[in-house]
Structure 1
Amino acid sequence: MIVNSILDTIGNTPLLKIPLRGEEVTIYLKLEMLNPSGSMKDRMALSMLNHRPRALNKDSADIVESSSGNTASALAMISAVRRINFTALMDSHASLDKIRTVRAFGSNVQIVGGGDGVLATDIRDREAMRISCEEGAYWTEQHNNPANAAGYAGLAAELLDDLGPTITHLVCAIGTGGSLCGSARQLRTRIPELQVIGVEPAGSIIFGGEGRDYLQSGTGTPEGAEVGLAIDYGVIDSGRKVSDRMAFSTCHYLAQRHGLLVGGSTGGAVYEAFSVARRAPVGSRIVTIVCDSGTKYLDTVFNQDWLSIHGIQIIDIEEHFKGLIADAPRRPQI
């Protein structure tokens, strides 16, 4: 296939079936890390820029966004193609690879907040508002932008094309809420009985509870930050919390048993998908969205020194879900 722009390669990502014992329940992973900037955020970033207010729709207009990295990478990629000046406001919680990616696309990065890996969503957002008000840049404001959720209509359509109305559960990490709520809203038009489960890090406040620090990147809402309007609690049936240890252990399982490198937020979602599969009725089809690639976390989630510094011990997920997870299929050597 020949395309005229890298933006034409956004979407149409494949599904990976994860084998479970007996195959009475099936889990499918939507491989969104195969989008061109490496995450599902390409969909919503393109949607937000395509739906800019008409008065700000000149390609020369500056844009700004507060991001842990994936939205910033997506906006930087699109800005490079469309020759837009983009500034990403990031903090030390973001992986170095994400920061380097934004700069590689030619966009500006400003690091705000404290050091030592502190997540500073509220500080980033305040600075974005200041730049928008004082410098006239367009703040895409992903947490409150309706074009965020609208950007995932195509993802839902692809799932329906591949699986039809047989999907019983949608299990997805929740940060801004755009991917989960946008996809769920569209899927429910064909599957009214769909069970929608949002997964946040233990310590995030989206589904209540006491806020505390967490290490999963690009997901959840830390204490002190505002839960955005993109989260539609009306389409979510339940919210679950997954610890960093279980999320990262699942990342290691997927890498070492399925050759699939994913980020921590996806690890949390897949862990919860396994938990759902344990109690789901026979015939259930569970879909989980792979938010981004683990290649962005080789210095963190897949770095034993980093894990040790943070006191995280990786567990054996196959043993933890003993009796559920089947061995990955082996192909004969040629």
Structure 2
Amino acid sequence: MILNKVTDLIGNTPILSLPVPSKNSRLLLKIEKNNPGGSIKDRMARNMVVAALKSGRLKPGGVIVESSSGNTGIGLAITAIEFGLRFIAVVDHHAAQDKIAVMRALGAEIRFVEGSYREDEVAVVERQRLAAELASQIPGSVFMNQSDNVANAGGYFDFVREVIDQIGGPVDAYVGCVGTGGSMTGIARGLKLHNPNTRTIAVEPDGSIVFGQPGHPYFQSGTGTPKGDTVGLVLDYSCIDMGVQVTDAQAFETARYIAKHTGLLVGGSTGGVIYKALEFIHGGLIGGNVVAAVADGGEKYLHTVFNEDWLKSRNLLDPDIGKKLDGWLSTDSEEEAPRLYPRLSVA
């Protein structure tokens, strides 16, 4: 099939199965990094713009303003091109430089927030304030405000439909990262409508306040809600069965392990999701068809998550995590394991 525009490439991403010891479980990775902007956020970014245009809140030739750590911004930049809109991304020092470079390459205007912040401190409150201020000053502009935008969660309907069609059986559990709450809410709601018994597990960074734990700085990018911010209105706690935290070291070591042992580059937040999914499968808390989203790719974090010097200087290296993953990703079949992933340990 020949497509007509880049946004037609959004969706229909493949699923990759990772071998786990349990004969009754499969860890199924939905490869959302294959979207044209490289992340799951392409889905909701376009949906928010389409909804704003349909409602008349955003006019043809208008201006999109959004606070973003990068992935939503990339999705909005692509969508802005499709509809002939101007896009202004408000970012802080916490955003990966590669993401900012991509937004610029796509024609986005970048505005940095001012102020002194720690390297591991997300300036999301100031980002939101500046984005709202710009939208109030620039004629024809709209602040998308993904955290409170109902079209955020509505952008994941096709994700759910695709997963159900691809698996061809029940989705027994879904494990995903939670930031604004749009993807987690949209996917969890959809899966539970199809199968009320689906277990939904939301993963936030250790230091995030989404599930009421004490807040402190963290390095994971584009996920969680930092101390000082408020949880977005788009997040629906009622469709989430369990909220859990993952440390930066667990998330980053898992992303690096998956890259070296399977050839798949995943982002830091996805490393955290895979870590918790494997931990829960190994502990018998979930089983059957366990789906996890590869929210974005590791290509955007080559200078951080995949840079050993960067990790070492921030005390984020932990070889014991790799030993755990060896056990969680080994298989019972010595014949099958080398064929699937030759470098994985064999039980």
Identify the range of structure 1 (62-71 vs 315-324) with the bigger mean alpha-carbon deviation. Answer: 315-324
Structure 2 residue matching 1:171: 3-state secondary structure: strand
Other-structure match for 1:61:
62
Structure 1: gaps spanning 5 or more residues: none
Other-structure match for 1:2:
2
- Shift in CA distance, 168/331, structure 1 to aligned 2, threshold 3 Å: closer
Other-structure match for 1:188:
192
Select 2:157's aligned residue among 153, 160, 163.
153
Other-structure match for 2:95:
94
Q: How does 1:197-276 map to 2 (within 5 A)?
A: 197-276=201-280
Q: Identity of counterpart residues, as a percentage?
A: 42
- Shift in CA distance, 329/188, structure 1 to aligned 2, threshold 3 Å: farther
Q: Distance in 2 between matches of 1:278 and 1:22?
A: 8
Q: In the alignment, does 2:137 pair up with 1:128?
A: no
Structure 2: gaps spanning 5 or more residues: 332-336, 343-347
Which residue identity is paired with 2:48? M
Deviation at 1:22, TM superposition (A): 4.4
The superposition leaves residues 281-302 of structure 1 with CA deviations (integer Å, 9 ceiling, x where unpaired) of 7852111011001000000000
How many residues are aligned here? 333
Contact map agreement 2:15 2:30 (CA 8 A) in 1: yes
Other-structure match for 2:42:
42
Q: Distance in 2 between matches of 1:141 and 1:108?
A: 17
Contact map agreement 1:103 1:109 (CA 8 A) in 2: yes
> CA RMSD, aligned part only?
1.8
Which residue identity is paired with 1:38? G
- Shift in CA distance, 332/240, structure 1 to aligned 2, threshold 3 Å: closer
Q: In the alignment, does 2:74 pair up with 1:73?
A: yes
Contact map agreement 2:173 2:286 (CA 8 A) in 1: no
Deviation at 1:59, TM superposition (A): 2.6
Q: How does 1:284-299 map to 2 (within 5 A)?
A: 284-299=288-303
Contact map agreement 1:248 1:314 (CA 8 A) in 2: no
Contact map agreement 2:117 2:123 (CA 8 A) in 1: no
Deviation at 1:330, TM superposition (A): 2.8
Q: Distance in 1 between matches of 2:323 and 2:263?
A: 19
Other-structure match for 2:84:
83
Q: Distance in 2 between matches of 1:314 and 1:291?
A: 23
Which residue identity is paired with 1:10? I
Q: In the alignment, does 2:339 pair up with 1:330?
A: yes
Deviation at 1:25, TM superposition (A): 1.5
Deviation at 1:132, TM superposition (A): 1.8
Deviation at 1:230, TM superposition (A): 1.1
Contact map agreement 1:63 1:84 (CA 8 A) in 2: yes
Which residue identity is paired with 1:166? P
TM-score between the two structures when normalised by the length of structure 2: 0.92
Q: Distance in 1 between matches of 2:320 and 2:16?
A: 22
Q: Distance in 2 between matches of 1:258 and 1:227?
A: 35
Q: Distance in 2 between matches of 1:244 and 1:209?
A: 16
Other-structure match for 2:113:
112
TM-score between the two structures when normalised by the length of structure 1: 0.95
Contact map agreement 1:25 1:280 (CA 8 A) in 2: no
Structure 2 residue matching 1:187: 3-state secondary structure: helix
